[in-house]
Amino acid sequence: MKDTRIAVIGAGMAGLTAALSLQKNGFKPIVYESAPELGEVGAGLTISPNSTHGLEYVGLADELAKKANVTQTQAIMHYKTGEILATSERGDIPRQKYGANYYQIHRADLHEMLCNAAEKNDPGCLVLGHAFESYTERDDETEITFANGDTVTCDVVIGADGVRSVVRGAMFGPEDPKFTGNVAYRGLIDKGNLPHDLFTPSSGVAIAPRKAFTRYLVRDGSVINFVAFVRRDGWNEEGWSIPVTQEELMEEFGDWHPRISNLIKAAPKDKVFKWALYDRDPLDQWTKGRVTLTGDAAHPMLPFMGMGAAMGIEDGAVLGRAFGASSDIDEALTRYEAARKERANYVLLMSRKARERLQSDNPEQYDDSKHKNEESLGLFDYNPGTIPV
């Protein structure tokens, strides 16, 4: 079993965590990534205690403690008055309650950490510039064809190629993800000499009718990450990094409380980007033959509970454990899907509902006790490194 040839398609959070967990369980997966090089793309990601457990399981506890920010207090604010409507204390509490910290981190820092760890375990395991195109399953092996013309044979394929998964299309037929009517803007601002008020409490979300603005600290607290969500009726632009002008941002947030509008004014002019938010309905089946899905490829979700990366990390940790516990591929894939599908599909559906909490028609009437959030739903109380597989 340990010599099973495993091809992971996509070096995102899910694919890389899966690779690390497989390595920890004695396998030598190869990760094929379409990007020709690994650059610094994206902004902040939330690593809630359930995903911290996953990253700690694959050996990243020390790196995470060095590079991620422990969130201290999270606040919900009124977009116009700046009034604090609710707070959640974090700091040491998540480790005491759930056994793991609540972190916030720059996506690029986490990505680099995962890539370095996988390459350190098995130099050459990351193959760049290989965009998966199709596969052919034969009795005893599977052949993958890449857009650059290369082909490889393997025993099992893990589709970790994100929200627009080509592997998923090859398995179940092409189907575009759905535009959810939300666009996200993101930016990173050097804290420098900015007034304290603009980043206190250290993590906050301002709620408004049809909009929400989240900001938190990354990179040792020296950089403020912001992500703002705006409802839109239509969308026709592709990609994670569509440039945004200062005028567009001011049109959306210019009349908000100075705690937000002044922060936006401080954003570097050429470094704010937007992307459209897509999801898909839950899949009944993640596995077909010896091909399975993980992360956004299996369950792309809205970011309103900050659980997208967390679910991919959980999947990855469990996938490696399922292979480690099995005597053949079918058993491993069955164990993996049985352990993960219900939870990830549930979080996908709850993430749709969570929009109501953060985009409120009457923010002045906000009552935290009337909303379910990721913690009150019990999502933090899960350890992918120890759950039964």
Ligand X SMILES: Cc1cc2nc3c(=O)[nH]c(=O)nc-3n(C[C@H](O)[C@H](O)[C@H](O)COP(=O)(O)OP(=O)(O)OC[C@H]3O[C@@H](n4cnc5c(N)ncnc54)[C@H](O)[C@@H]3O)c2cc1C
Using alpha carbons, list the distances in angstroms from residue 162 to 174, 251, 289, 298, 308.
14, 31, 20, 8, 11
If the CB atoms of residues 85 and 318 are measured against ligand X, the closer one turns out to be: 318
Taking contact as CB under 6 A, which single stretch among the options 36-44, 49-57, 71-79, 341-349 is the one that binds ligand X? 36-44
Least distance (Å) between residue 289 CB and ligand X: 19
Chain residue whose CB lies nearest ligand X: 12
DSSP string, 181-199: EEEEEEEEEE-TT--GGGG
Residues 330-389 within binding reach of ligand X (CB under 6 A): none
Residue 296 in the binding site for ligand X (CB under 6 A)? yes
Whose structure tokens read 């804290």? Answer: 191
Residues 132-161 within binding reach of ligand X (CB under 6 A): 132, 160-161
Residue 365 structure tokens? 């009437």
Residue 320 in the binding site for ligand X (CB under 6 A)? no
Residue 279 in the binding site for ligand X (CB under 6 A)? no
* Residue of 103, 135, 216, 336 marked catalytic: 216
Query: Site for ligand X (CB under 6 A): how many residues?
Result: 30
Least distance (Å) between residue 302 CB and ligand X: 10
If the CB atoms of residues 85 and 317 are measured against ligand X, the closer one turns out to be: 317
Least distance (Å) between residue 242 CB and ligand X: 12
C-alpha span between 214 and 306 (Å, rounded): 11
Residue 32 in the binding site for ligand X (CB under 6 A)? yes
Least distance (Å) between residue 157 CB and ligand X: 11
Least distance (Å) between residue 113 CB and ligand X: 13
DSSP string, 95-112: HHHHSS--EEEEHHHHHH
Taking contact as CB under 6 A, which single stretch among the options 33-41, 263-271, 347-355, 366-374 is the one that binds ligand X? 33-41
If the CB atoms of residues 85 and 118 are measured against ligand X, the closer one turns out to be: 118
DSSP string, 232-257: -S-----SS-EE--HHHHHHHHTTS-
For residues 299, 182, 54, 93, the Cα torsion angle rounded to the nearest 10 degrees is -140
Q: Which helix (H) or strand (E) holds 158?
A: strand 156-159
C-alpha span between 243 and 268 (Å, rounded): 12
Among 53, 107, 215, 321, binds ligand X (CB under 6 A): 107
Report the SS3 class of residue 201.
Answer: coil
Residue 166 in the binding site for ligand X (CB under 6 A)? yes
Residue 204 in the binding site for ligand X (CB under 6 A)? no
Residue 240 in the binding site for ligand X (CB under 6 A)? yes
Taking contact as CB under 6 A, which single stretch among the options 39-47, 73-81, 92-100, 258-266 is the one that binds ligand X? 39-47
User: Which 8-state DSSP code applies to residue 281?
Assistant: P
The two beta strands, 126-127 and 30-32, are parallel
Among 1, 61, 75, 131, binds ligand X (CB under 6 A): 131
Taking contact as CB under 6 A, which single stretch among the options 136-144, 278-286, 304-312, 326-334 is the one that binds ligand X? 304-312
Among 188, 267, 309, 354, binds ligand X (CB under 6 A): 309
Which residues, at least 6 apart from 40, have a Cβ–Cβ distance to it below 8 Å? 108
User: Which 8-state DSSP code applies to residue 176?
Assistant: P
Residue 45 in the binding site for ligand X (CB under 6 A)? yes
Residue 15 structure tokens? 């694919």
Residue 33 in the binding site for ligand X (CB under 6 A)? yes
Maximum pairwise Cα distance, the chain: 65
Residue 295 in the binding site for ligand X (CB under 6 A)? yes
Among 6, 8, 15, 333, binds ligand X (CB under 6 A): 15
Residue 274 structure tokens? 């937007």
Look up 216 and say whether it is catalytic.
Answer: yes
Residue among 5, 31, 33, 2 at smallest CA distance from 18: 31
Residue among 200, 196, 202 at smallest CA distance from 70: 202
Among 12, 29, 187, 324, binds ligand X (CB under 6 A): 12
If the CB atoms of residues 207 and 310 are measured against ligand X, the closer one turns out to be: 310
Do 181 and 231 form a contact (C-beta atoms < 8 A)? yes
Give me the phi and psi of 215, to 5 degrees please: -145, 145
Binding residues for ligand X (CB under 6 A)? 9-15, 32-35, 41-43, 45, 107, 131-132, 160-162, 166, 186, 240, 295-296, 303, 308-309, 312
Tell me which residues are annotated as active site.
216
